[in-house]
Amino acid sequence: MAAVEPTLTLRGDGRVRRRRIANRVAEVLATVAALAAVAVLGIVVWSVAKRGAGALSWGFLTHDLPIPFSGQSGGIAPLIVGSAILVGLAAAIALPVGVCIAVFLEEFARPAVRAGIQLAVDLLNGLPSIIIGVFVFGLLVYGHPQNGWAGSIGLAIVMLPLVTRATQEVLRLVPRSQREGALALGASRWRTVLGITLPSALGGILTGTVLAVARAAGETAPLLFVTSIYGRTIELNPSHALPNLPVQIFIWSESSDPEDHKRAWASALVLILFVLATSLIARLALARFRRRMG
Amino acid sequence: MSTLPATQELRGGRRVRDWLGDRILFLLTLAAGLAGVGLLGLIAYRVIRGAHLAFSTFGLSFVWGTAWDTNKNVFGALPGLYGTAVTSLMALIIAAPLAIAIALFLSELAPRGIRVVVGSLVEMLAAIPSVVLGLWGILVLAPFVQDHLEPWLHGWFGFIPVFGQEGAAPGIFLAGLVLAIMVVPIVASVCRELFLSVPSELEEGALALGATRWEMVRGVVLSSSRPGIAAAVILGLGRALGEAIAVTQVIGAQWFIKASLFQPGDTLASRIAGQYQGAVSKLQISSLFYLAAILLVIGLVTNLLAQIVVRRFAFQRTGGS
């Protein structure tokens, strides 16, 4: 009849308490870190909104750029139009090429070839965007006038690995049974890809492209050397340098004129609203697409 | 009876069409794949060719040269290499622990609803264009750093050379902070995926043996993800090394090496971006290409390293089971 050990209670002794405290501390630290990241996002967005909203008006969105040191307020219509053209052309280049690369990697390539091309795509993705800017400058602009084509090709290089990656991911989500069903019914490879696989992946491919567009719209470095010297008015011809939001925000932020800082904030607000809204919507759409595909 | 040859002919026609279609689609996508590889090669070739004039003038001594004198046409890369190394290192020292903690919060701690919201907010942070972050850095963060953070650090740790000499706000320190903000979401999202892929039997086993959540995280989640975490941090490093625009806006653009972090400096990428309208002589432009070539080599090696670690680790984790 050994008595029950009196120290064996359900209340923790010193060691247990220490372990619990360590656990608590770790949990609190992790939570604080997450809150800090959210807070930084909040502070950045709030500062841009607070400073930008004052200068933002219908006139600001629709007028031509101001003449420097003229005292006139001017607007950013040419920047919005130019950015839209640059990003639109970039998407038109990157989307078909990116989808083709993804189809090759997921449907055709043998493992060794696949590994090589996949590596190249990943390295392109990690390439500093200023290198892309220098490359496009050297290839298309050095010795020629600046032009919008070079800018959109630079942005297309930024978008290409993103589109490829996104397409690969959704192609992997398409159930094997669909593909095998089509092949078993006697459909050829290309009919299966074009008729079955790509259509069911289409939603995901498009949202992935929208995410890449959001990313490209904010890229400055690929444009800095190839489309940064432009006029004050709306320019529609990509053979000329196209005014665009990121480069102009950069130029205004480097300026010593406080009026230019105000313009930079208001333009940054326009840019950030576009980028955050599109990437938020695309993300939601992508999450829904994933759920639907199981 | 008379329809039979026609059907056969149709079948034959379809077979030819299918054969042709398969070939064409295969060749088309193959061409796109090869174009991707070719593009990478073309970028390297064009950047290195652009550096040819500077290379034949300065040779390898460009790498440790310290001048950037447009009047005497003498250029060197060392201050930029130093600035790149110091700002990136500082960004990683701040960002890596934070990002890992965030990833742990998102994968192990947060309830489902919060996980989705906080997770997307962290990804939104990555979506902020660098030019906007740089604008915020120079006009909002810089005054704060100059008035509060710098004097405080200098007051307490001034005896350490890196906090030794106070200066204006634009500088290495500010650049490191801004880079840290850009690196956190990248490392956090890679690490989160990593932690979520830890087999739940392992986690539940540790908890069943009586480990606290933190002990489980330390003993199972972190220790089994170590190579993956390293790869995530290297990916973040690659981002920090190559960021040009935001750094140009906040670093002060001075081509010298100072011990104190509170002094201005420059990185390889930010020097290239900062000279976008100032380059006059051919040799200067070629020197910018030379800087870009150095950055390209560093960037490729960094990313290659991360990819190798990722691949080997993914193989371990999926190949084992």
- Angle at CA A163, nearest 5°, toward B46 and B32? 55
- Angle at CA B102, nearest 5°, toward B97 and B103? 100
| pLDDT value for A3 | 56
Q: CA–CA separation, A35 vs A186, rounded Å? A: 55
Q: Is residue B273 part of a domain?
A: yes
Residue B253's pLDDT band (boundaries 50, 70, 90)? confident
Start-to-end C-alpha separation, chain B:
60
pLDDT in tens, A149-200: 999 999 999 999 999 999 999 999 988 888 888 888 888 888 899 988 999 8
Q: CA–CA separation, A246 vs A83, rounded Å? A: 8
| pLDDT value for A261 | 92
Q: Is the pLDDT of residue B3 over 80?
A: no
> Are B123 and A44 a contacting pair at CB < 8 A?
no
Contact yes or no for B71/B282 (Cβ under 8 A): no
Residues of A in contact with B280 (CB under 8 A): none
Q: Within an 8 Å CB–CB cutoff, is residue B279 touching chain A? A: no
* Rg, Å, chain A Cα set: 26
Question: A167 vs chain B: nearest CA distance in angstroms?
Answer: 13
Average pLDDT in chain A: 91
- Residue B45 makes CB contacts below 8 A (sequence gap 6+) with none
Q: Clarify whether residues B261 and B298 are in a common domain.
A: yes
Q: Clarify whether residues B19 and B74 are in a common domain.
A: no
Q: Is residue B55 part of a domain?
A: no
> Are B120 and A280 a contacting pair at CB < 8 A?
yes
Q: Clarify whether residues B237 and B156 are in a common domain.
A: yes
Q: Clarify whether residues B121 and B72 are in a common domain.
A: yes
Which candidate from A119, A134, A253 shows the least CB-CB separation from B249? A253
Q: Is residue B98 part of a domain?
A: yes
Q: Is the pLDDT of residue A6 over 60?
A: no
In this structure, what CATH number is given to the domain that contains residue B260?
Answer: 1.10.3720.10
How many C-beta atoms surround the C-beta of residue A196 within 10 A? 17
Q: Is residue B125 part of a domain?
A: yes
**H helix runs in chain A, sequence order:** 14-55, 58-62, 77-103, 111-126, 129-136, 148-173, 176-184, 189-192, 198-217, 245-254, 258-292
Contact yes or no for A165/A121 (Cβ under 8 A): yes
Q: Is the pLDDT of residue B4 over 50?
A: no
| pLDDT value for B230 | 93
| pLDDT value for A27 | 93
Chain A: residue whose CA lies nearest to B242: A128
- Residue A175 makes CB contacts below 8 A (sequence gap 6+) with A293, A294
Q: Which residues 38-97 of B are in CB contact (within 8 Å) with A?
A: 39-40, 42-43, 46-47, 49-50, 97
Q: Clarify whether residues B10 and B100 are in a common domain.
A: no
Q: Clarify whether residues B74 and B22 are in a common domain.
A: no
> Are B296 and A131 a contacting pair at CB < 8 A?
yes
Residue B278's pLDDT band (boundaries 50, 70, 90)? low
Q: CA–CA separation, B244 vs A199, rounded Å? A: 39
Residues of B in contact with A276 (CB under 8 A): 124, 127-128
> Are A23 and B215 a contacting pair at CB < 8 A?
yes
Residue B259's pLDDT band (boundaries 50, 70, 90)? confident
Q: Clarify whether residues B67 and B46 are in a common domain.
A: no
> Are B101 and A29 a contacting pair at CB < 8 A?
yes
Q: Within an 8 Å CB–CB cutoff, is residue A40 touching chain B? A: yes
Residue B143's pLDDT band (boundaries 50, 70, 90)? very high
Least Cα distance to A253 among B222, B130, B30, B221 occurs for B130
Q: Clarify whether residues B105 and B30 are in a common domain.
A: no
| pLDDT value for A7 | 55
| pLDDT value for A257 | 87
Start-to-end C-alpha separation, chain A:
61
Q: Clarify whether residues B164 and B216 are in a common domain.
A: yes
| pLDDT value for B65 | 92
| pLDDT value for B2 | 44
Residues of B in contact with A36 (CB under 8 A): 98
pLDDT in tens, B86-142: 999 999 999 999 999 999 999 999 998 899 899 999 999 999 999 999 999 999 999
- Residue A281 makes CB contacts below 8 A (sequence gap 6+) with A210
Residues of B in contact with A266 (CB under 8 A): none
Q: Is the pLDDT of residue A95 over 90?
A: yes
Residues of A in contact with B181 (CB under 8 A): 40
Q: CA–CA separation, A10 vs B91, rounded Å? A: 46
Q: Within an 8 Å CB–CB cutoff, is residue B37 touching chain A? A: yes
DSSP characters for A112-143? Answer: HHHHHHHHHHHHHHHS-HHHHHHHHIIIIITT
Q: Is the pLDDT of residue A71 over 80?
A: no
| pLDDT value for B17 | 84
Q: Clarify whether residues B8 and B35 are in a common domain.
A: yes
**Residue range of the domain that includes B25:** 3-50
> Are A33 and B215 a contacting pair at CB < 8 A?
no
pLDDT in tens, B47-79: 999 999 999 999 999 999 999 988 888 999 999
Give the pLDDT mean for B285-305: 95
Q: Is the pLDDT of residue B5 over 80?
A: no
Residues of B in contact with A291 (CB under 8 A): none
pLDDT in tens, B161-205: 778 777 777 899 999 999 999 999 999 999 999 999 899 899 999
Q: Which residues 182-201 of A are in CB contact (within 8 Å) with B?
A: 188-191, 193-194
Q: Within an 8 Å CB–CB cutoff, is residue A144 touching chain B? A: no
DSSP characters for B154-169? Answer: HHHHTTSGGGTS---S
Chain A: residue whose CA lies nearest to B38: A120
Q: Is the pLDDT of residue B281 over 90?
A: no
Q: Which two tokens stand for residue A209?
A: 């492209």
Q: In whole angstroms, how far apart are CA A171 and each of A84, A197, A200?
A: 29, 7, 9
Least Cα distance to B99 among B194, B1, B188 occurs for B188
Q: Within an 8 Å CB–CB cutoff, is residue B304 touching chain A? A: yes
Q: Within an 8 Å CB–CB cutoff, is residue A21 touching chain B? A: no
| pLDDT value for B150 | 85
Which candidate from A48, A120, A129 shows the least CB-CB separation from B132? A48
| Range of lowest pLDDT (A42-46, B118-122, B308-312) | B308-312
How many C-beta atoms surround the C-beta of residue A231 within 10 A? 13
Q: Is residue B264 part of a domain?
A: yes
| pLDDT value for B240 | 95
Which candidate from B109, B122, B238 shows the least CB-CB separation from A126? B238
Q: Clarify whether residues B9 and B90 are in a common domain.
A: no
Residue A291's pLDDT band (boundaries 50, 70, 90)? confident
Q: How many domains does chain B have?
A: 2
| pLDDT value for A265 | 96
Q: Within an 8 Å CB–CB cutoff, is residue B126 touching chain A? A: no
In this prediction the ipTM stands at 0.91
Q: Which amino acid is at A282?
A: A
Residue B320's pLDDT band (boundaries 50, 70, 90)? very low
Q: CA–CA separation, B193 vs B131, rounded Å? A: 28
Residues of A in contact with B245 (CB under 8 A): 130, 220-221, 224, 246, 250
Q: Clarify whether residues B27 and B108 are in a common domain.
A: no
The pTM (predicted TM-score) of the whole model is 0.92
